[in-house]
């Protein structure tokens, strides 16, 4: 009987899993079919949404261009997961449709999180999804705000602030962050970020905590106010409750706990990848939500699913980080090279070469989802190799300390 592999969500991780699984099924001549379920018929380059928010029409591609006829596509919103029956309910148009599976891959991604700050959901805009980013761009174009407060100094908030300031020179943009800006970067990287923000006219407020958002701007925890015509919120992410509601074992944020093959620790016929998964890398550290880990997680899950169907034991090598990239407008950027545990190295790229490098990485990510398995194989080789080298080096350091 044909084995049904169903992938929920066509972001980076989900599309990687679906395409890789289909390629493996064909290569190994398995009696299996792959179906991809997504709310829209398009793939969205989420790492370009800061550009969309600034008014640029980029990063949206028909899924059919990537599926190449090898993967069935169901366009609809997932409403329910019945793990006992092995089926999901998908609303296609206005009609519920039941899609059965033998193996399920959860890749529904994440949405913007409020961080529990009052008023953030009601008054703040986000660029966490395509619709939200387009709505933000329309607000900037139609309302012509003078003062914009961007909350969140991670790479997403940094990119949004820089892109808005460069694309709309008349805006007065202020970036506020609870800790340091670009916290995962080293001293050289943060110094460049501060210079770039200053060049773009972005006011930076570090070590600043927001207590509430309202129609007139922000109230800070120290009692001060930040007036703003528009607030853009970039403080964390939230995942859909589908997995938790279905009884899968999840962490405190609702992310599925998985083993080294991306398999649910509670439901062996369910895998989770990307932002939907709580996976661990070197030293048992949780892998952060990112395209950098979403792609290899998707490819790894597909390899594990098809290996088990072929009667083989899947690999369990951990994944390690290689670098972090941030755009600082269209002509500047930062590439921070990191160790496998995501801690920063001394080496960075900045300026135009970093902007070019970031664009190459972003374009290659989508290109790899459309092409054959070569880029997936290379990415897995590099990320797993980084983790292995880090493990060997850490082992030597521990032995040296003990000697």
| Average per-residue pLDDT for the chain | 94
Read off the pLDDT band of 367 (50, 70, 90). confident
Predicted confidence at residue 371, as pLDDT, reads 67
Predicted confidence at residue 397, as pLDDT, reads 56
pLDDT in tens, 266-296: 999 999 999 999 999 998 889 998 889 999 9
pTM, rounded to two decimals: 0.94
CA distance 380 to 322: 11
* Contact residues for 70 (Cβ-Cβ < 8 A; gap 6+): 19, 22, 23, 26, 34
Q: Provide the 10 A C-beta neighbour count for residue 201.
A: 12
Q: Provide the 10 A C-beta neighbour count for residue 382.
A: 14
Predicted confidence at residue 22, as pLDDT, reads 96
Stretch 203-213: mean pLDDT: 97
CA distance 199 to 184: 22
* Contact residues for 364 (Cβ-Cβ < 8 A; gap 6+): 375
With a cut of 60, say whether residue 42 has pLDDT above it.
yes
Predicted confidence at residue 396, as pLDDT, reads 59
With a cut of 80, say whether residue 394 has pLDDT above it.
no
> What fold characterizes domain 3-110+239-319?
FAD/NAD(P)-binding domain (3.50.50)
Q: Which residue has the higher pLDDT, 368 or 381?
A: 381
For every residue of 97-132, DSSP letters joined together read: EEEE-SEEEE----EE--TT-TTHHHH-B--SSHHH
Read off the pLDDT band of 401 (50, 70, 90). very low
Q: Report which of 372, 328, 378, 383 is spatially closest to residue 353, judged by C-alpha positions.
A: 328
pLDDT in tens, 1-25: 999 999 999 999 999 999 999 999 9
Q: Cβ(28)–Cβ(310) under 8 Å? A: yes
Predicted confidence at residue 69, as pLDDT, reads 84
End-to-end CA distance of the chain: 58
Q: Where does CATH 3.50.50.60 sit in the chain?
A: 3-110+239-319, 113-233
> What fold characterizes domain 113-233?
FAD/NAD(P)-binding domain (3.50.50)
Predicted confidence at residue 270, as pLDDT, reads 98
CA distance 215 to 213: 7
Stretch 161-186: mean pLDDT: 96
CA distance 357 to 334: 9
């Amino acid at each position: 009987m044909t084995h049904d592999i169903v992938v929920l969500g066509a972001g980076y991780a989900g599309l990687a899993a679906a395409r890789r699984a289909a390629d493996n099924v064909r290569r190994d001549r398995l009696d299996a079919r792959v179906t991809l379920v997504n709310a829209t018929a398009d793939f969205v380059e989420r790492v370009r949404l800061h550009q969309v928010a600034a008014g640029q029409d980029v990063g949206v591609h028909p899924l059919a261009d990537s599926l190449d006829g090898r993967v069935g596509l169901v366009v609809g919103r997932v409403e329910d997961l019945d793990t006992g029956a092995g089926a999901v309910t998908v609303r296609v148009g206005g009609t519920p449709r039941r899609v059965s599976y033998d193996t399920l891959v959860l890749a529904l991604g994440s949405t913007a999180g409020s961080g529990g700050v009052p008023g953030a959901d009601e008054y703040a805009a986000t660029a966490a999804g395509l619709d939200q980013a387009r709505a933000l761009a329309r607000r900037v174009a139609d309302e012509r705000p003078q003062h914009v407060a961007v909350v969140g100094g991670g790479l997403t908030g940094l990119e949004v602030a820089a892109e808005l300031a460069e694309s709309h020179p008349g805006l007065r943009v202020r970036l506020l962050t609870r800790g340091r800006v670009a916290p995962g970067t080293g001293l050289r990287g943060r110094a460049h970020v501060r210079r770039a923000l200053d060049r773009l006219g972005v006011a930076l407020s570090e070590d600043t905590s927001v207590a509430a958002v309202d129609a007139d701007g922000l109230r800070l925890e120290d009692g001060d106010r930040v007036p703003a015509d528009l607030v853009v919120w970039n403080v964390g992410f939230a995942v859909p409750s589908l997995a938790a509601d279905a009884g899968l074992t999840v962490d405190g944020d609702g992310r599925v706990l998985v083993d080294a093959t991306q398999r649910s620790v509670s439901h062996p016929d369910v895998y989770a990848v990307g932002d939907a998964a709580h996976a661990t890398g070197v030293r048992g550290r949780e892998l952060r939500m990112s395209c950098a880990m979403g792609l290899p997680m998707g490819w790894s899950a597909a390899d594990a699913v098809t290996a088990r169907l072929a009667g083989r034991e899947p690999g369990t090598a951990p994944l390690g980080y290689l670098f972090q990239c941030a755009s600082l407008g269209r002509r500047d950027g930062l590439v921070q090279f990191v160790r496998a545990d995501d801690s920063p190295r001394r080496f960075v790229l900045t300026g135009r070469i970093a902007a070019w490098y970031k664009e190459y990485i972003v374009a290659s990510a989508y290109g790899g989802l459309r092409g054959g398995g070569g880029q997936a194989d290379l990415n897995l080789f590099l990320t797993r190799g980084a983790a292995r080298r880090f493990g060997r080096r850490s082992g030597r350091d521990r032995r040296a300390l003990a000697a």
